[in-house]
């Protein structure tokens, strides 16, 4: 069998594994959230709050969708014309066209081009979140965080690019196999590394002071059978007024993290309710599920890229001879951008299912639907969430059930509906 035939067979096997794993690990049943309860919950929210939240999201949309559209156009121009190959050559020229320089610096050049072009939209978003009182950052702090984000992305991207093109350079016929294994391994590694090494780049974490709230959270985790190493407070207030909490890390690195804004804005019972939701993710292994799905999906993407990259028409448009050469970085990113855009609604759908299960976990663990509903109202109010977003936007990008869905789920639970 030829490498291409092996790749096609492996792709089919991985797609079957991905489908089977998703079928058994994703919660396809959602807790009931009757539409009548959603409308009743919406009617109880202050009208001015709902109007302000909708104004906020209307103000964000031009920047969000503008960045998405311009970013896609730039990716297609760099990938479906020789422009991307030219940028890679330009990056490698000071180093004599060395393939390592082309792979790493060329890849970063191409990626940075998209970041720079969409930078005005990011600035637009910042002005909106500041105007509506969500962000507490000035332009200086915002710029520092942006540079940190670019730096972290550059480090991860450089490692990925060097690894990928080392494989394509030394195994030009079988790089799809080694690349699929390497990409899947990188996804798994990042699941462990990011919470420990990357989160502290953007926030300062301090242990929560001993007291009733800390004791309640530790007791809640113990009762749920989810061991945690510590309860930390993140200094989120230096950049935002939004409230949140989460459970971070895997195994020995797992810890409960509460925004300092959550402590000041919410009642202790509401903090407990949010953490109960987050413990649900840990209890049901959602991070592990996401990691496995991500690893399988990434391996599938590498092999699909290899098969699609033999299409002579695409190679001719990009002005390259093979998808496995550094000069084809633009073409690779264009394919990935289109695939990501098409896969977005499916990913959002799966995420909503997982989040709904975590909501149900919180209701069962605390046995307090009234506080859960109050907590959702608080989150929506402080974070300026649209409580009942347009259907088209919900289906395309909503990673969580809407505020009124979650409030309705609490009401249904209180009536004994499961």
**What is the pLDDT at residue 333?**
92
Q: Is the pLDDT of residue 170 over 90?
A: yes
**Helix, coil or strand: residue 110:** helix
* Cα separation, 120 vs 138, whole angstroms: 16
* Cα–Cα distance, 8 to 133 (Å, whole number): 52
Report the share of the chain in percent with pLDDT over 90. 81
In a domain, residue 101? The reply is yes
Is 233 contained in some domain? no
Q: What share of the chain is helix, strand, coil (3-state, %, to 5)?
A: 75, 5, 20
Looking at the annotation, which residues are catalytic?
278, 359
328-369 confidence digits (pLDDT tens): 999 999 999 999 999 999 999 999 999 999 999 999 999 999
| Per-residue pLDDT at 257 | 93
| Residue 215 domain flag | no
Read off the pLDDT of residues 78-108 as tens digits, 9 standing for 90 and up: 999 999 999 999 999 999 889 999 999 999 9
Asked if the structure places residue 239 within a domain, the reply is no
Q: Is 230 contained in some domain?
A: no
Q: Known binding site: residues?
A: 277, 281, 355
Instruction: Look up the domain containing 174 and give its range.
Output: 3-202+285-414
Q: Which residue has the tokens 């190959």?
A: 85
Average pLDDT over residues 171-182: 93
Residue 196: pLDDT over 80: no
Is residue 121 a part of any domain in this protein? yes
How many folded domains does the chain comprise?
A: 1
How do residues 129-146 score in pLDDT, each as one tens digit?
Answer: 999 999 999 999 999 999
C-alpha–C-alpha distance, residues 12 and 8, integer Å:
6
Lowest mean pLDDT among 22-26, 102-106, 194-198, 239-243: 194-198
pTM for the whole thing? 0.90
Answer yes or no: are the C-beta atoms of 413 and 356 closer than 8 Å: no
Is residue 222 domain-resident? Answer: no
CB 134, CB 240: distance < 8 Å: yes
352 or 200, higher pLDDT: 352
Q: What is the mean pLDDT of the chain?
A: 92
Least confident of 70-74, 115-119, 196-200, 252-256: 196-200
Question: Which residue positions form the known binding site for Zn(2+)?
Answer: 277, 281, 355
According to the model, what pLDDT value does residue 418 have?
77
Does residue 111 lie within any of the structural domains? Answer: yes
């Amino acid at each position: 069998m030829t490498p291409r035939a092996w790749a096609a067979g492996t792709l089919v096997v991985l797609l079957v594994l991905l489908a089977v794993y998703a079928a058994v690990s994703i919660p396809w049943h959602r807790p009931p959230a009757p539409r009548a309860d959603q409308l009743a919950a919406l009617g109880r929210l202050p009208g001015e709050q709902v109007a302000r939240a909708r104004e906020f999201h209307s103000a964000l949309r031009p920047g969000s969708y503008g960045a998405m559209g311009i970013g896609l156009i730039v990716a297609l121009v760099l990938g479906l014309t020789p422009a991307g190959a030219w940028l890679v050559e330009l990056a490698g020229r000071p180093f004599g066209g060395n393939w390592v320089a082309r792979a790493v610096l060329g890849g970063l050049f191409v990626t940075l081009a998209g970041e720079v072009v969409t930078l005005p939209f990011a600035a637009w978003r910042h002005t909106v979140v500041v105007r509506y009182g969500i962000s507490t950052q000035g332009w200086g702090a915002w710029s520092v965080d942006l540079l940190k984000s670019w730096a972290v992305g550059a480090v991860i991207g450089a490692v990925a690019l060097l690894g990928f093109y080392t494989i394509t350079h030394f195994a030009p016929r079988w790089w799809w196999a080694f690349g699929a294994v390497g990409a899947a391994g990188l996804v798994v590694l990042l699941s462990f590394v990011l919470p420990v090494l990357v989160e502290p780049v953007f926030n300062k974490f301090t242990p929560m002071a001993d007291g009733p709230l800390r004791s309640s959270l530790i007791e809640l985790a113990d009762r749920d059978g989810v061991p945690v190493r510590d309860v930390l407070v993140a200094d989120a207030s230096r950049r935002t007024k939004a409230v949140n909490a989460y459970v971070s890390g895997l195994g020995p690195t797992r810890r409960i993290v509460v925004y300092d804004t959550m402590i000041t804005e919410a009642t202790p019972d509401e903090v407990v309710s949010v953490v109960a939701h987050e413990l649900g993710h840990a209890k049901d292994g959602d991070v592990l599920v996401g990691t496995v799905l991500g690893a399988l999906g990434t391996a599938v993407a590498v092999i699909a890229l290899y098969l699609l990259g033999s299409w002579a028409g695409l190679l001719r448009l990009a002005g390259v001879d093979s998808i496995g050469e550094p000069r084809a970085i633009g073409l690779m990113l264009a394919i990935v951008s289109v695939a990501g855009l098409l896969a977005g609604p499916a990913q959002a759908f799966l995420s909503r299912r997982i989040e709904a299960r975590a909501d149900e976990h919180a209701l069962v663990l605390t046995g307090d639907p009234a506080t859960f509903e109050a907590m959702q109202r608080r989150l929506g109010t402080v974070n300026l969430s649209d409580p009942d977003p347009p259907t088209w936007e919900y289906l395309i990008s909503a990673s969580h059930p809407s505020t009124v869905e979650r409030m309705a789920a609490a009401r249904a639970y209180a009536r004994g509906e499961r």
